[in-house]
């Protein structure tokens, strides 16, 4: 008796040691029926090779399978039949200008790359997007069908597919990765599978959890993607908040202030930091001046309206010249964050 083919991402299960079949991928060609009611093409694949794989192996297999699918394994779907992923991994962009340009490209040049969807597990005839959210949104707004690969995927396979697709592009911000890990935790996904989905390790996963636990997912979401804010500053903000019971309330107030309604997500992060850093540094104690990479330059003291910096002798002259040149830009950012630009 021949084994039925597994889904397109069964290979990803090898990362958690749960899927070990060595069946070769099988692609079912599109129906020759050219009517408008063409049924979606079903795509199946098994595991190729050994159970211990690197992400590079999985990417290579994914690319090979997609190349074979491109020769006849895709279909077109009504975008109104496709729902969002139950495991969102992206936050809204700061503005729609980039998306507008993206949609215009699809409108004028067509959709070059299909999206991937899975059959909706609870609603026959509907689908859930695995990756290609922006292409799906563009198709919906343009009122045109969307090119898609259709596969039968479990929740775990869906998560791993999304994670691998995003890690290959490396365009999720640190905040988005942290929120995605938190959501997977909430859905009882195993730690090793979350690490596989995000191409990360247990140490980084612990940092994601620390930030979301201290700041709460609501605050991280309200701040947004913050593409220029990396792990050190998110960890620093989480550390400050964890020591101050009133810090979250002040951040909530700052983020709902109408003055920053048009601010970018990076500016919202700086505003959140500003409203909680005052307490930490206003007690007159010296505060180490350390870069995000850990390089130290001296100490600072912040008491009310007085700010004093003591710079290490080997940096003093160069830092003074540097600071004088940077002050106008620093003030521009400060006033912009406070709605006074």
Backbone angles phi, psi at 148, to 5 degrees: -150, 150
Is the model's pLDDT at 8 over the cut of 80?
A: no
Largest CA distance in the chain: 81
The neighbouring-strand residues paired with 150 are 42, 117
Q: What is the pTM of this model?
A: 0.56
Is the model's pLDDT at 97 over the cut of 80?
A: no
Q: What 3-state class would DSSP assign to 233?
A: helix
Q: For the residues 31-41, what does the mean pLDDT come to? A: 41
The neighbouring-strand residues paired with 115 are 148
What's the chain's Rg over C-alpha atoms?
25
Task: Return d(Cα 182, Cα 230) in angstroms, integer.
Answer: 17
136 close to 146: Cβ distance less than 8 angstroms? yes
Residue among 90, 95, 173, 177 at smallest CA distance from 131: 90
- H-helix segments, 151-293: 155-169, 174-186, 191-198, 202-215, 217-223, 231-242, 247-255, 265-281
**190: region left, alpha or beta (phi > 0 left; psi from -120 to 50 alpha):** beta
Between the alpha carbon of residue 81 and those of residues 38, 120, 248, 258, 270, the distances in Å are 14, 10, 40, 37, 40
| Residues in Cβ contact with 169 at an 8 Å cutoff, skipping those fewer than 6 apart | none
208 close to 178: Cβ distance less than 8 angstroms? yes
Report the pLDDT value the prediction gives residue 75, as an integer from 0 to 100.
87
Q: What is the pLDDT of residues 131-168, one digit of tens each?
A: 888 899 999 999 999 999 898 888 888 887 877 776 55
Which structural domains are found in the chain, ordered by start? 1-171 (3.90.1530.10), 285-341 (no CATH)
282 close to 240: Cβ distance less than 8 angstroms? no
How many CB atoms neighbour CB 169 within 10 A? 8
Both tokens of residue 150? 């259709």
Q: What is the pLDDT of residues 54-81, one digit of tens each?
A: 556 556 655 655 554 444 467 899 999 9
The neighbouring-strand residues paired with 219 are none
Range with lowest mean pLDDT among 27-31, 89-93, 258-262, 292-296: 27-31
Range with lowest mean pLDDT among 10-19, 119-128, 177-186: 10-19
Q: In which band, very low, low, confident or very high, does the pLDDT at 48 lie, cut at 50, 70 and 90?
A: very low
Q: In which band, very low, low, confident or very high, does the pLDDT at 223 lie, cut at 50, 70 and 90?
A: very high
292 close to 230: Cβ distance less than 8 angstroms? yes
Burial class (CB in 10 A: 0-12, 13-18, 19+), 131: buried
Is pLDDT larger for residue 88 or for residue 185?
185
- Angle at CA 245, nearest 5°, toward 243 and 247? 85
Residue among 169, 168, 69, 76 at smallest CA distance from 127: 76
Locus of tokens 């949609």: 103
| Three-class DSSP labels, 41-64 | CEEECCCCCCCCCCHHHHHHHHHH
Residue among 106, 131, 104, 105 at smallest CA distance from 117: 131
Backbone angles phi, psi at 332, to 5 degrees: -60, -45
Residue among 234, 258, 277 at smallest CA distance from 338: 258
């Amino acid at each position: 008796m021949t084994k039925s083919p597994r889904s397109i991402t069964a290979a990803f299960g090898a990362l958690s040691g749960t899927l070990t079949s060595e069946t070769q991928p099988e692609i079912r060609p599109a129906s020759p029926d050219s009517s408008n009611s063409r049924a979606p093409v079903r795509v199946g694949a098994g595991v190729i090779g050994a159970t211990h794989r690197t992400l590079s192996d999985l990417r290579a297999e994914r690319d090979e399978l997609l190349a074979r699918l491109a020769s006849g394994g895709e279909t077109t779907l009504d975008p109104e039949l496709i729902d969002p992923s139950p495991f969102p991994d992206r936050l809204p962009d700061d503005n729609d200008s980039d998306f507008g340009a993206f949609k215009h490209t699809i409108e004028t040049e067509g959709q070059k790359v299909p999206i991937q969807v899975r059959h909706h597990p609870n609603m026959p005839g509907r689908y859930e997007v695995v990756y290609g959210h922006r292409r799906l949104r563009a198709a919906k707004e343009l009122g045109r069908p969307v090119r898609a690969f259709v596969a039968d995927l479990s929740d775990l396979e869906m998560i791993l597919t999304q994670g691998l697709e995003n890690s290959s592009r490396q365009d999720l911000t640190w905040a988005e990765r942290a929120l995605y890990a938190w959501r997977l935790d909430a859905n009882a996904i195993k730690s090793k599978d979350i690490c596989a989905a995000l191409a990360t390790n247990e140490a980084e996963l612990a940092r994601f959890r620390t930030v979301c636990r201290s700041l709460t997912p609501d605050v991280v979401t309200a701040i947004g993607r913050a593409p220029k804010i990396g792990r050190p500053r998110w960890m620093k903000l989480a550390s400050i908040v964890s020591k101050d019971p009133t810090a979250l309330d002040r951040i909530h107030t700052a983020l709902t202030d109408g003055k920053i309604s048009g601010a970018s997500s990076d500016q919202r992060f700086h505003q959140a930091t500003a409203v909680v850093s005052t307490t930490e540094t206003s007690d007159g104690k010296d505060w180490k001046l350390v870069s995000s990479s850990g390089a130290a330059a001296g100490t600072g003291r912040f008491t009310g309206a007085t700010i004093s910096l003591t710079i290490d002798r080997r940096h003093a002259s160069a830092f003074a010249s540097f600071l004088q040149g940077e002050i106008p830009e620093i003030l521009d950012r400060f006033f912009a964050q406070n709605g006074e630009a």
